[in-house]
Chain A
Amino acid sequence: MKHYLDLIAISAGRHKKQTRMTRLCIVLAVFLVTVIFGMADMEMRAQMIQAVKSDGNWHAGFVVDAETGALIGERPEVERIARYGVVNYGLQDGYRIGGVETCVCGLDADLLEMFPAVTVLEGRFPQQDDEAMLNEAVKSRLGLQVGDLVSLTVPRGESRQYRITGITKDMILTAEHDAFGMLLTAEGYDALHTGETDAEQEMVYFVQFKKFCNIQKAIGDISTQFGLAPEQVRQNAKVLMLMFQSGDSYLMKFYFVAAVLAVLVAVAGIFMIAASMNSNIARRTEFFGMMRCLGATKRQVICFVKREALGWCRLAVPAGLLAGVVTVWAACGMLRLLSPGLFDSMPVLGVSVLSLVAGTLIGLVTVLLAAGAPAKKAAGVSPLTAVSGNAGTVQAAKRATGTRVFKVDTALGVHHAAGSRKNFFLVTGSFAFSIILFLAFGTAVDFMHHAIMPLRPQAPDFYAFAADYANTIPAELAEQLQEHPGVKRAFGRGYAQVTAQLDGQQTLFTILSYDAQQFRWAGWGLLKGNLADAEEGKGVLLAWREEGQVPVGSKLTLSVGGEDREVSVVGILGDVPFSHGTAANTGSSEVLLICSEALFRDLTGETGYAVLDMQMEQAIEETEVQQIRKKIEQACGTGISFADKRLSNQEVKGASYSLSVFLYGFLVIIAMLAFFNIINCIAMSVSARMREYGVMRAIGMSVRQLVRMIVGETLAYMVSGAVFGCIIGLPINRILFEALVTSRWGAAWEVPVWELAVIVAVMGCALCLAVAGPARQIRQMTVVDTIGEAS
């Protein structure tokens, strides 16, 4: 031993058990910060992957002429620029290959770098004006290969010939509308565009700016320099937001929310460590008094406490970081498991530098900050405290315990909690912060529910629909396809339009027929009435209308094919699945009726379906899909269209999975921390008072009474923590909710009863466990030894 600070290491070696709880607290706080920042970072990466896949990784687009485009490309902040133009995006202008509407894009090869979703499966990007790349569907449906000539029928001319140089993967637009996609060089497109339209050539110049460039400023400068109107400038909002480069006012609110949450997490960490250190120092008053007696200056004691705290960090911070990183790995692994294929580029064992820096900083800085106050307290211990023999293991009481409201044991427990104002504030604060964090992060879940509609269980992956929604698809085809490899479910619906008197007006109705499975799905949206009656064909379900409701049990007289048929309304549906193909969601006055297949047949005399939906296995082979398609075409003839929703479904799934994993992950972590923090705080408080408990046992207090005392103490912390947590957390919840949800979707804020119930339940469980441990310790306590040890 060469220095007085060497005592720290010697002491730490001998008192591992006593400092374990403080070290655990540091681990928990660092873990909290690492996980939350790590998960946020990973979620940003996941969202970025999603955003780049769906929208591309360009930053801004400028609709300008060639000369301006070239000038923009020369600007120093521009990393990459590429032209893009499109015709027949709406797939109804008459550009066709083999009779199928084709979206024709002209672009520079560089643009492919900005749209990674455009995957070249074979061949290369066209180089000549008469070369083209086509999507996979052209290959599979028309049997064309790289090197073949393809003929594009155009609205004005008869046709144009292109040589196929490559095949790309299908994209959402073409898959959903069963259309083809054609990529030409910018020059090839120019020739086509000028030949076919009178409109001036309109190209978008997509730009990727250099790293660390202030993108909003660059866009502003470009717009000013070239006098661009706002409609000439596009921004890749999602990507820019994820790069913290968006100037959008809503996104600024988003950043504000993120900043508030980050600060809350940091403060929660500080509270946890401060509370535990304060308690650790408080129980060693006598030791610090003795140090002062022996001649240690206040500065030396502060240095001692801080050095000791940093010593705890040496193991606790890496442990917290490691636990945090492993948890983030688990979340990423889960994400990849839930949505294979979509997040493959996200590393399972990725390390978020941001989270490591935040965790380490919060760990070290918090420990130093948190150690500051207890260190001053320790330094402030009068040397007299040690020599006078008044220094107990706990702080001297400043006022007597009130025993009017509670029995003496509970009253003492409450007094233990509230006796030291500072300790009470810190412990209550750390409990309150669990609630505040939970309520604050709860708003992010509300945001998720509004922002991302999860894929509904009934969503089809692939569907066929008859032209004009005529019921020409044979019903037995659904049963046949159900047996097809790779098909999970196949189900169809009939469509019919009828009129009836409603509210004294002749109103147009669309009747949909549901099978048993579709009725089950519709059950979620049943507002009134009986689903079983509709399923058995006893009546129809009516969609909810803003204008007013038809009472359940009333009759509707439908005019079907010139014949009047009376049907009963057996229920009202708030949300009607499978309303696509109807005008119900376009604000038209058309009313939806749902009935069983038998009643539909009875009413309309139609036996077929207008729409045939399929849900498919994720791993279904493309050839199987083509076979299904052929089977349907063979059964129904030519008047059938297809829509492939697999890509867009996967995108929706990916977005909702990644947000769910991370947001619910945050909530679980916060709840878990609240849980351990309560247990740890109570365990610390009890171990600090063991000698006092020993004395109380010696003078006749029963174990049961001691346990009641601990329950009293724990409840005092928890009730006040819950009250403060709600007082501060609810307004924060409201502010964040209004910034994230109300400002965008108009939904009014409500008291988050569920979040409160969950966190209170978690705290309740923690209370039981927090008391159980010390109760066992007290039962096993040897009174004589406990008093003897401390004296």
Chain B
Amino acid sequence: MEIVRVENLSKTYGKGEAQVAALKNVSFSMERGQFGAVVGESGSGKSTLLNCVGGLDRADAGKVFIGDRDLFAMGEEERTIFRRQNIGFIFQSFHLIPELNVEQNIIFPLLLDYRKPEQTRVEEILEVLGLTNRRKHLPGQLSGGQQQRVAIGRALITRPALVLADEPTGNLDSRNSEDVMDLLCKASRHYQQTVLMITHNRNLTSSADRVFQVTDGTLCELGGDRR
């Protein structure tokens, strides 16, 4: 089942001589449970692609379908609500709310959606993330790897169809990077969630079903290391 479909996505920054084409007619699609990795040089347009796919940014042209919904056909309010219910984000620098503890950070997207967190689901996520005994800790009391795990938990709590991760291991050492990759693979395999991850580290693409390369705003598929 197709979860995400991108059609002829284009995005340009700046004007005149300073104009930069960040994305040029990018098209691809991903199935349910697939794990995709996007690689590319700095400034090649990877993050722009991810932001457009996640609805954080608007493209100049083209369409993004999540399921059968066209992201850019929605109004701002509708898109935000759709995003929080269907797309999970994981950032390189975690972006946890410093005054909330681990458990509160994880359930926060549910609260924004006025939903009551299911305790079993929270326990399960904490268990999977290995944070059960740290649930009352504040982000400032956690290591980088633990903070990223909390961010992953936050992205997964709403059971989104699509998880977007922007260099989730960029700030982590190799051991924590492995843990994070395991968790993302688990999301893809175990929970059948589609994961699209940006990375600089070619070694990490070994876990991916499909690998995309972005070069000067154009996307090409390199194939899947694992496949």
Contacts and interface: CB of A to CB of B under 8 A. Distances in A.
Interface of A: 1-4, 6-7, 10-11, 13-15, 287, 290-300, 382-384, 386-389
A382 B99 contact: no
13 contacts: A1-B100, A1-B111, A7-B97, A7-B100, A15-B99, A295-B81, A295-B83, A295-B85, A295-B112, A297-B80, A298-B76, A298-B77, A384-B57
Nearest to B56: A383
B99 A11 contact: yes
A649 B149 CA distance: 82
Contacts of A293: 56, 89, 91, 95
Contact of A384 (B51, B77, B81, B154): B51
A2 B111 contact: yes
Contact of A297 (B57, B81, B91, B95): B81
Contacts of A382: 56-57
Interface of B: 47, 51, 56-57, 76-77, 80-81, 83-85, 89, 91, 93, 95, 97-100, 104, 107-109, 111-114, 116, 154, 166
Contacts of A295: 80-81, 83-85, 109, 112-113
Q: Is the interface of A mostly helix, strand, loop or mixed?
A: helix
A387 B51 contact: yes
Contact of A1 (B57, B91, B93, B107): B107
B61 to A, nearest CB: 18
A430 B166 CA distance: 43
A36 B191 CA distance: 65
B21 to A, nearest CB: 18
A387 B89 contact: yes
A10 B99 contact: yes
Contact of A389 (B89, B93, B99, B100): B93
A299 B77 contact: yes
- Most A C-beta atoms less than 10 A away, residue of B81, B89, B91, B112: B112
A387 B166 CA distance: 9
B56 A294 contact: no
Given A3-B111, A294-B154, A300-B112, A386 B99 contact: no
A654 to B, nearest CB: 57
A388 B100 contact: no
B104 A1 contact: yes
Contacts of B93: 389
B112 A296 contact: yes
A4 B76 CA distance: 20
Nearest to B158: A295
A294 B84 contact: yes
A294 to B, nearest CB: 5
A296 B99 contact: no
Given A297-B77, A388-B47, 6 more contacts: A7-B108, A287-B97, A292-B80, A294-B154, A295-B83, A295-B84
B13 to A, nearest CB: 12
A687 B107 CA distance: 31
A302 to B, nearest CB: 12
A383 B17 CA distance: 27
A343 B84 CA distance: 66
A263 B43 CA distance: 54
A1 B106 CA distance: 12
- Most B C-beta atoms less than 10 A away, residue of A4, A11, A292: A4
Contacts of B57: 382, 384
B160 to A, nearest CB: 10
Given A298-B76, A298-B80, A387 B109 contact: no
Nearest to A293: B89
A294 B55 CA distance: 12
Contacts, number: 75
Contacts of B51: 384, 387
A1 B97 CA distance: 14
Contacts of B56: 293, 382-384, 387
Contacts of A10: 99-100, 104
A297 B77 CA distance: 6
Contacts of A300: 112
Contacts of B116: 2
A383 B84 CA distance: 12
List the 4 shortest-distance A-B pairs measured between CB atoms, nearest first.
A295-B84, A4-B111, A14-B99, A383-B56
A660 B108 CA distance: 58
A287 B96 CA distance: 9
A7 B96 CA distance: 13
A290 B105 CA distance: 12
Nearest to A791: B93
A696 to B, nearest CB: 23
B57 to A, nearest CB: 5
A300 B112 CA distance: 8
A463 B124 CA distance: 99
B80 A296 contact: yes
A235 B84 CA distance: 71
A80 to B, nearest CB: 63
A15 B81 CA distance: 29
Nearest to A12: B99
A298 B51 CA distance: 18
Contacts of A7: 97, 99-100, 108
A435 B197 CA distance: 57
Contacts of A386: 91, 95
Contacts of B108: 4, 7, 294
B58 to A, nearest CB: 10
Contacts of A6: 111
A292 to B, nearest CB: 7
Contacts of A388: 47
Nearest to A5: B111
Contacts of B112: 4, 291, 294-296, 300
B132 to A, nearest CB: 18
A654 B220 CA distance: 90
A13 B98 CA distance: 12
A509 B85 CA distance: 101
Nearest to B96: A290
Contacts of A4: 108, 111-112
A293 B80 CA distance: 9
A7 B111 CA distance: 10
- Most A C-beta atoms less than 10 A away, residue of B108, B116, B154, B166: B108
A4 B111 CA distance: 5
Contacts of A11: 99
A292 B76 CA distance: 11
Nearest to B82: A295
A388 B51 CA distance: 9
A15 B109 CA distance: 22
A298 B166 CA distance: 24
A396 to B, nearest CB: 15
A397 to B, nearest CB: 17
Contact of B91 (A287, A292, A299, A387): A387
Contacts of B166: 387
A285 B111 CA distance: 21
Contacts of A2: 111, 116
Contacts of B107: 1
Contacts of B154: 294
Contacts of A290: 95, 97
A462 B106 CA distance: 85
A287 B100 CA distance: 13
Contacts of B89: 293-294, 387
Nearest to B85: A295
A298 B75 CA distance: 12
Nearest to B83: A295
A3 B110 CA distance: 9
A167 to B, nearest CB: 76
Nearest to A292: B80
Nearest to A295: B84
Contacts of A383: 56
